[in-house]
Chains A and B, each alone.
Chain A
């Protein structure tokens, strides 16, 4: 079943640059959908539309619709705060907030108004276990999060969005700064997480895209070139440009 339907989305930044041109695609529930392609193709812009983080960027015009559970989230009347709780995001560089490990995890709940200690503690433990970090940090939850290693920080960021019990998780090149071992850990936890969540991933390499994708969409200069199951797009791409890219002829 599709969790998200993107319909004829065109996105333009205030400096006139168009970053997405007439994109339509459906995003399946409980699967990993990968958005890949060369830099500047519009993947991150699309990602940032899905939780309206684009609101913070330069004024832009967004034409078209993004339906999440049947509601258009581009509607100005959308409660963006509620949307962002429902659609979590993990960024390219692990950005831990200048708080303790616990503070990072409970931040989203606290700004929501949750102050019951038991609820917060439950969320901390659950999300850390889901992100496969619990065993490493359970004895030092009150340490500053910045003291963690890069890989741990990124899994903390994953856990931080999970703490809010979102339905969709957006990941923007989540492993770009990590070593291979940490990358493998993050990728493995994504495979676990997809059982409960809808995951949209912008990978940092074609190889990662191929490893992780249930479905994959190839973006080139703001255009959705090809969208298919992961198994087929990396082995038997239909479009010539997709083939050139996945076989390494450009990009």
Chain B
């Protein structure tokens, strides 16, 4: 279980994350939404160690990870994918996966053997199959389509076998059809891998359709949490973010 306790971060006078307390039970699927500048990415950066929180705790199964370095937090089981696909452009899909498993198995500093190590193959293979990248294994990452690069980014997080997977806008920059394919993939991964998934998303249709639980951030604070129906009918959310388009009538 991932528990966030009174997490806070300021940049100058701006409170990007302001006293956020949240629980993500094991195996839950949660969407984080909010207007631009609401502090969604900052929230992810604080959890994953890219930023150090000013105050608060990030508890994964009772262990406080707040303020630790990204490698340490990854090793405790929090993986992430990025808004702009963060990949290794000159490596092939297969090399990327194998190298990531090496890192997870702590053999990334090994000098006396040849890459790839035999024990890294099954996991790499499994995740490539899972994300439909196996057919593109010999393609250099830079030559992949935008959508495949996003999938590769997610594969990088997934291949580490995290307990919690944070996806920062998995559908960013995609066309409508591609979006649905991607989000179906995310949903499928959540179903089959039994991991905790938290994702940031701007497309309200997607959020209301697939997320059992939604967190709304606004000016660094939690505006509301709840099921899609609760969020749709929450007057504060409608006023601050949704407008009337998605409001109660639609439900």
Decide whether A and B assemble into one complex.
Answer: no
